[in-house]
Amino acid sequence: MLGDFYFAAGDLDKAIAEYGSLHQNHPRDLQVKKNYVQLLILKGRLDEARNLNDEVLKANANDTEALVYRGQIQVRDGHARDAAETLENALKNDPDNGVAHYHLGIAFDLLGNLERAESEWRNAVRLRPDLVEAQRALAAVALRKHDMAALERAASQIINLQPASPDGYALRGASFINRKQFDKAAQDIRQAIDVAPQSAAGYVQLGNLKLVLKQYSEAEKAYQQGLDHDPNSSDALSGLMDNYLARKQPDKAVAAANAAIAKSPNSSAFYDLLGTALFNNKKDMNGAEAALRKSAELNKDNSDALLKLGQVQAAKGSADDAIATYQRSLKDNPHEASFYVLMGELYESKQNWEKAKESYQKALEIQPDNPLASNNLAYAMVQSGGNVDVALSLAQTARRGMPDSPNAADTLGWVYYQKGDYKSAIDLFQEALKLANKNKSPEDATFHYHLGMAYDRTDQPALARQHLEQVLKINPHYSSAEDVKKMLSQLRS
């Protein structure tokens, strides 16, 4: 069909127009209707897609393709839990449907269940090795887990499926860079540039390679080439700015962002990068707030910019403004768990434990396995006299999900302390200190406070005194400083 030709050529508008005409002329042709639904979903015309797809399901409630389309629509609507249920029903009808496994993986990823998402994507490529979207999803998982061997495997599959695309070569190049196999990385990067010289992808990865090698001038040139070929490439601008920041030239990083914005004034991502640099590297709170606000105005779905906007407002001492920002953001992004988590942390800073718990609970309704929300809710429950057994379960979930987090170790230890299991508590507080040191994090007075209290409960006064004194050295104005001083006075006497 002509519509299929347009779709294969990448002209989605013409494909939709052709299938719209076909559907009008042949309204009972089921395959035409299904193909039209898929194109409407890709174009984001969800209401039209939903209405047509519901017609298919009304005629046959077990139509697997239509169930998969419904799942896709639910994902795009932000209803990941409903999508997962729909797609699981589709797989009951057709367990070997690779496309259904792929979209189910997307739903689980949105629910914060990366392990299940990865499993579904592996099922998708097992059943449909040609499903490049699933290979890309696995590559993204490998990047998030910093599993470079897995990234190389996924990238190689993308190259096999799309040898004329630069993405697979660029991703495999990234896997080699991270393992210091620079010659192999250079070969793949050169191939990425050769197959798509007008794409920014190869130049960005070339810049990444030169940056790792501390060849800053060559890195700058490569990133700039990426921007020259694609003035909207946020990866190229991000790399260029990172290159300047690595050379301790924040003014040049800011200037690069402003220059890119001058060429692409409607880029939400560019304003996001500018605001981030102004906040982190220039400590220009007002400038950062203005840039991030502009980023959010240009794209109300840019959750990164909205999250950072709230963080800037909180850093300026405007916790109420930050909370208001997150509340407004949730109207446009009701299924973004991070807004609830950060809002909960702001309520914590105001000692409003009930509001904090409510925020964390809402985050967990969206992502039941969100480790940060689990950790924070467990701590808030203990601090406000909540159910310690429920807090223990939450803290254990957080510890499993964030094994390298000193805060997760401390929270679990604090729950054990409340339950009177001081030995387990001490082990976890010590682990929190070790992890903080490993992560090169600033010393946390709370870890020492908790450990000092646990040592006191186990009749180890010298160790208790050592850690309690450390609390006041780290922060003389610590929130529980008066309690620390009282305990020290009792220990000394």
Look up the CATH number of the domain holding residue 250: 1.25.40.10
Lowest-pLDDT range of 11-20, 97-106, 157-166: 11-20
Asked whether 141 and 120 are in contact (CB, 8 A), the reply is no
Asked whether 398 and 378 are in contact (CB, 8 A), the reply is yes
- What total of structural domains would you count in the chain? 2
Asked whether 422 and 460 are in contact (CB, 8 A), the reply is no
**What per-residue confidence (pLDDT) applies to 391?**
97
Q: Please name the amino acid found at residue 122.
A: R
Q: Is residue 284 part of a domain?
A: yes
Strands (E), 133-189: none
**Which residues have CB under 8 Å from 200's CB, separation 6+?**
226, 227, 229, 230, 233, 235, 236
pLDDT grade, residue 262 (50/70/90)? very high
Q: Classify each residue of 6-43 as buried b or exposed e, where b means 16 or more C-beta atoms within 10 Å of its C-beta.
A: bbeeeeeeebbebbbebbeeeeeeeebbbbbbbbbbee
Mean pLDDT of 294-310: 95
Tally the C-alpha atoms within 13 A of residue 340's C-alpha that lie toward its C-beta.
25
Mean pLDDT of 403-418: 97
Query: CA 222 to CA 185: how far, in whole Å?
Result: 15
Q: Which residue has the tokens 């529980």?
A: 480
Strands (E), 88-154: none
**What per-residue confidence (pLDDT) applies to 323?**
96
Q: What percentage of the chain reaches a pLDDT higher than 70? A: 99
Q: Is residue 300 part of a domain?
A: yes
Query: What is the DSSP-derived secondary structure letter of residue 282?
Result: S
Q: Classify each residue of 320-335 as buried b or exposed e, where b means 16 or more C-beta atoms within 10 Å of its C-beta.
A: ebbbebbeebbeebeb
Q: Is residue 384 part of a domain?
A: no
Q: Tokens for 26? A: 């042949």
Query: CA 230 to CA 226: how far, in whole Å?
Result: 6
Q: Mind listing the pLDDT tens digit for each residue in 213-231?
A: 999 999 999 999 999 999 9
Shared domain for 255 and 276, answered yes or no, is no
The CA R_g of the chain, rounded to the nearest whole Å, is 26
Shared domain for 299 and 281, answered yes or no, is yes
Shared domain for 245 and 287, answered yes or no, is no
Q: Which of 222, 237, 260 is the last residue of a domain?
A: 260
Q: Which of 276, 294, 320 is the last residue of a domain?
A: 320
Domain CATH for 294: 1.25.40
Q: What is the mean pLDDT of the chain?
A: 95
Give the number of other CB atoms < 10 A from CB of residue 456: 19
φ/ψ of 47, rounded to 5, equals -65, -45
Shared domain for 202 and 250, answered yes or no, is yes
Shared domain for 248 and 273, answered yes or no, is no
Q: Residue 1: is its pLDDT beyond 80?
A: no
Q: Tokens for 98? A: 């690779």
Q: Is residue 424 part of a domain?
A: no
Q: Tokens for 52? A: 């047509």
Region of 179 (left: φ > 0; alpha: ψ -120 to 50; beta: rest) is: alpha
Q: What percentage of the chain reaches a pLDDT higher than 90? A: 89
Q: Residue 5: is its pLDDT beyond 80?
A: no
**What per-residue confidence (pLDDT) applies to 13?**
86
Shared domain for 277 and 316, answered yes or no, is yes
pLDDT grade, residue 6 (50/70/90)? low
Q: Mind listing the pLDDT tens digit for each residue in 67-87?
A: 999 999 999 988 889 999 999
Q: Is residue 301 part of a domain?
A: yes
**What per-residue confidence (pLDDT) applies to 156?**
98
Lowest-pLDDT range of 194-203, 268-277, 332-341, 463-472: 332-341
Q: Is residue 127 part of a domain?
A: no
CA 420: distance to chain centroid?
Answer: 36
pLDDT grade, residue 335 (50/70/90)? confident
Shared domain for 314 and 289, answered yes or no, is yes
Instruction: Answer positive or negative: Cα dihedral of 318, 320, 323, 324.
Output: negative
Q: Is residue 249 part of a domain?
A: yes
Q: Mind listing the pLDDT tens digit for each residue in 89-121?
A: 999 999 999 999 999 999 999 887 888 999 999
Q: Residue 493: is its pLDDT beyond 80?
A: no
**What per-residue confidence (pLDDT) applies to 458?**
97
Query: Domain limits at 298?
Result: 266-320
**What per-residue confidence (pLDDT) applies to 431?**
97
Q: Residue 3: is its pLDDT beyond 80?
A: no
Q: Mind listing the pLDDT tens digit for each residue in 445-458?
A: 999 999 999 999 99
Lowest-pLDDT range of 19-33, 204-218, 256-270, 437-451: 19-33
Task: Tell me the CA distances in angstroms from 150 to 70, 178, 291, one per residue in order.
Answer: 31, 12, 37
Q: Which of 211, 237, 260 is the last residue of a domain?
A: 260
Shared domain for 240 and 280, answered yes or no, is no
Q: Mind listing the pLDDT tens digit for each residue in 149-159?
A: 999 999 999 99
Shared domain for 208 and 244, answered yes or no, is yes
Q: Residue 7: is its pLDDT beyond 80?
A: no
pTM score: 0.84
Q: Is residue 220 part of a domain?
A: yes
